[in-house]
A and B are shown apart, each in its own frame.
Chain A
Amino acid sequence: MNTDSTPNSPQDPLSREAQFELFFTSNYRDFYHLGLSISKQKELTQDTLQSFFLEMWEKKIWTKEIEHPKTYFQRAFYRKMMTALKAQAKGPQSLEESKPILPEISFEEALIESETQMERAQVLAQALDRLSPTQREMIQAKFQDGKKYEELAREKGKSKQTIYNQVHTAIQKLREILGSPP
């Protein structure tokens, strides 16, 4: 975690907003993986991150003198994630299917798992960087945005088969890259 960049020195020439932006962008990925190791859910993690950072911002916690800021923020986020998970298990949530209740993970376990996850994610990110821009775009649309082949075909004005083939080729290439060290 980049707590070194936690902006709390009074002579910092950056504006309060710029300081927080730095805090946000340099810590977002770490918290994201911590949240995933707790919930296994991308959307819930990102929603909780929004309200977590909002709280940090409003309470100005990030500018206060905290002895071990890294652990402090991680623990605070861990608690928030657990609360969000419990609320989700209880609440009659819209049309989504009920999520399986996960065994409660301790803070230490979550932290270790998030570190393992981040390493994996980094390997994948590097592999994705070696795809062509079009291939990356297809993978992004399919897996992160969750678009259907039919939708993509309509957007790109191509046949469904063409789109499928492009994604298939991109996956094959990705597997090759992942199978061989850079």
Chain B
Amino acid sequence: MINEPDINVASLVASESFQAYCLKTDSPEGHQWSDWISSHPESRPIIEEARNMVIDLHLHLSEEEISAAYAQFSSRAKAAAAIKKFPPFRRWAAIAATFLLLAAGTWAFLQWSTPTYSLAVTQYGDPQEVRLPDGSHVMLNANSQLKWAESWSEENIREVWLEGEAYFEVTHNPEWPFLVHTSAGDIRVLGTSFNAKQRKKALSVALVEGKVRFEQAGKASQILKPGEELSWKGGSLSIREVDMDPILAWSQGKMIFRNASIASIIERLEDDFGWQVSVEAASILEKKVNASIDENIPEVLLEALAAIYDLRFEKKGPKTYIIR
């Protein structure tokens, strides 16, 4: 791969393996360059010039990048007004109910710009902890939004609006109702702690402990028992017993999949991390896998899956993968 007659500055700078060597991205080609350079001391000046150019070009900061950085800051500042950083891997109390709320896309935060409401927004791959006015804790998963009134009084019920996924620890007060609004329906909290998620056009609610009631306008309400999951999709509702660990894993900074289809893993990568994952053959989607990793880091998951199952993940872009 190292072509002797090609050793001039421009060719070096243009060489992808040489770039990898300069920017220390771990690649076998990069390591080959280290070896080549140490055995060709006469090329030192050329190498140095080329290396500086690669690094300078890499570090160059364009005006567009500054604008992009400000845009990123600005959206974070809005979200940070109400939320504080979630400490990673904190073990949340096992006493919890999980709501998997997958519901219609458009979310009406009609009033959020008025000062009476707070809005917490999380980015891909970055869960945050939110504290509500009554002292309740909410862990908001990545790519989610939660809205609530800035000040709460006991004359009114406690209510929040959710889009995405969140895990709640509600300050216990049986006299003061707590409601989670979703576009699919409302969740009335009758116990003390719970966790909620809403993505796309379906809703599911899984309860670990306590008691919650799912309410939809014009329909009979449903009370959920611990260990059960309520699913609402395309207008039909079902309740079944489920394994809670995989559902709660994200809130503990983990990823757990048990007998999960590749399709459901792809969904998780898209929802929580903003990845685009496609498959070479549709049959892969139905393949069932088991994986458990102690970090909520998608790259680690892919590595684990590739090592155990006969799968190949090919990176096509910063967040774009294809599975073969």
Q: Please state if A36 and B299 are interface contacts (CB–CB under 8 Å).
A: no
Q: Please state if B299 and A94 are interface contacts (CB–CB under 8 Å).
A: yes
- Tell me if B176 is interfacial: C-beta within 8 Å of chain A: no
- Tell me if B107 is interfacial: C-beta within 8 Å of chain A: no
Q: Which of A20-51 contact B (CB under 8 A)?
A: 21, 24-25, 28-29, 32, 36, 42, 46, 49-50
Instruction: Provide the A141-166 mask, 1 if CB < 8 A to any CB of B, else 0.
Output: 01110101101000000000000100
User: Which one of B16, B23, B69, B295 lies within 8 Å of A49 (CB-CB)?
Assistant: B69
| Given A144-B62, A148-B16, A151-B316, residue A139 in contact with residue B76 (CB < 8 A) | no
User: Which of A52-60, A62-70, A77-85 interfaces with chain B?
Assistant: A52-60
Q: Please state if A57 and B58 are interface contacts (CB–CB under 8 Å).
A: no
Q: Please state if A50 and B69 are interface contacts (CB–CB under 8 Å).
A: yes
Q: Please state if B300 and A94 are interface contacts (CB–CB under 8 Å).
A: yes
Instruction: Provide the B266-300 mask, 1 if CB < 8 A to any CB of A, else 0.
Output: 00000000000000000000000000000101011
The interface residues of chain A lying within 8 Å CB-to-CB of B76 are: 50, 54
The interface residues of chain A lying within 8 Å CB-to-CB of B303 are: 95
The interface residues of chain B lying within 8 Å CB-to-CB of A95 are: 299-300, 303
| Given A32-B61, A124-B57, residue A167 in contact with residue B14 (CB < 8 A) | yes
The interface residues of chain B lying within 8 Å CB-to-CB of A148 are: 16
User: Which of A3-11, A105-113, A168-176 interfaces with chain B?
Assistant: A168-176
The interface residues of chain A lying within 8 Å CB-to-CB of B77 are: 54, 57-58
Bound: A168/B16 CA distance, A? 11
For residue B53, give the distance in angstroms from its CB to the closest CB of chain A.
7
The interface residues of chain A lying within 8 Å CB-to-CB of B10 are: 168, 171-172, 175
Bound: A144/B68 CA distance, A? 14
> Which B-chain residue is minimally distant from A120 (CB atoms)?
B56
Q: Which 8 A-B pairs have the closest CB atoms?
A: A143-B57, A97-B26, A168-B14, A171-B10, A172-B10, A171-B13, A95-B299, A28-B66
Residues of B within 8 A of A (CB): 9-11, 13-14, 16, 19, 23-24, 26, 53-54, 56-62, 65-67, 69-70, 72-74, 76-77, 80-81, 295, 297, 299-300, 303, 316-317
Q: Please state if B60 and A121 are interface contacts (CB–CB under 8 Å).
A: yes
User: Which one of A21, A120, A167 lies within 8 Å of B70 (CB-CB)?
Assistant: A21
Q: Please state if A175 and B56 are interface contacts (CB–CB under 8 Å).
A: no
| Given A25-B66, A57-B77, residue A121 in contact with residue B14 (CB < 8 A) | no
> Which A-chain residue is minimally distant from B70 (CB atoms)?
A24
- Specify which of B24, B56, B316 lies most central, judged by the most chain A CB atoms within 10 Å of its CB: B56
> Which A-chain residue is minimally distant from B54 (CB atoms)?
A143
Chief secondary structure at chain B's binding surface: helix
For residue A38, give the distance in angstroms from its CB to the closest CB of chain B.
13
Q: Please state if A94 and B297 are interface contacts (CB–CB under 8 Å).
A: yes
Q: Please state if A121 and B299 are interface contacts (CB–CB under 8 Å).
A: no
User: Which one of B9, B61, B67 lies within 8 Å of A29 (CB-CB)?
Assistant: B61
- Tell me if A101 is interfacial: C-beta within 8 Å of chain B: no
User: Which one of B9, B58, B60, B80 lies within 8 Å of A125 (CB-CB)?
Assistant: B60
For residue B124, give the distance in angstroms from its CB to the closest CB of chain A.
14
| Given A94-B299, A171-B53, A175-B9, residue A42 in contact with residue B59 (CB < 8 A) | yes
- Tell me if A88 is interfacial: C-beta within 8 Å of chain B: no
The interface residues of chain B lying within 8 Å CB-to-CB of A167 are: 14
Query: What would 15 more interface pairs be, CB under 8 Å, given A29-B61, A120-B56?
Result: A21-B70, A24-B70, A28-B61, A28-B69, A49-B69, A50-B76, A57-B73, A58-B77, A58-B80, A94-B299, A128-B60, A144-B65, A149-B16, A167-B14, A175-B10
Q: Please state if B73 and A143 are interface contacts (CB–CB under 8 Å).
A: no
For residue B117, give the distance in angstroms from its CB to the closest CB of chain A.
18
Q: Which of A116-130 contact B (CB under 8 A)?
A: 120-121, 124-125, 128
For residue A81, give the distance in angstroms from its CB to the closest CB of chain B.
15
> Which A-chain residue is minimally distant from B316 (CB atoms)?
A151
User: Which one of B56, B73, B299 lies within 8 Å of A50 (CB-CB)?
Assistant: B73
For residue B108, give the distance in angstroms from its CB to the closest CB of chain A.
25
The interface residues of chain B lying within 8 Å CB-to-CB of A94 are: 295, 297, 299-300
- Specify which of B54, B73, B76 lies most central, judged by the most chain A CB atoms within 10 Å of its CB: B73
The interface residues of chain B lying within 8 Å CB-to-CB of A164 are: 14
- Tell me if A140 is interfacial: C-beta within 8 Å of chain B: yes
Bound: A128/B58 CA distance, A? 13
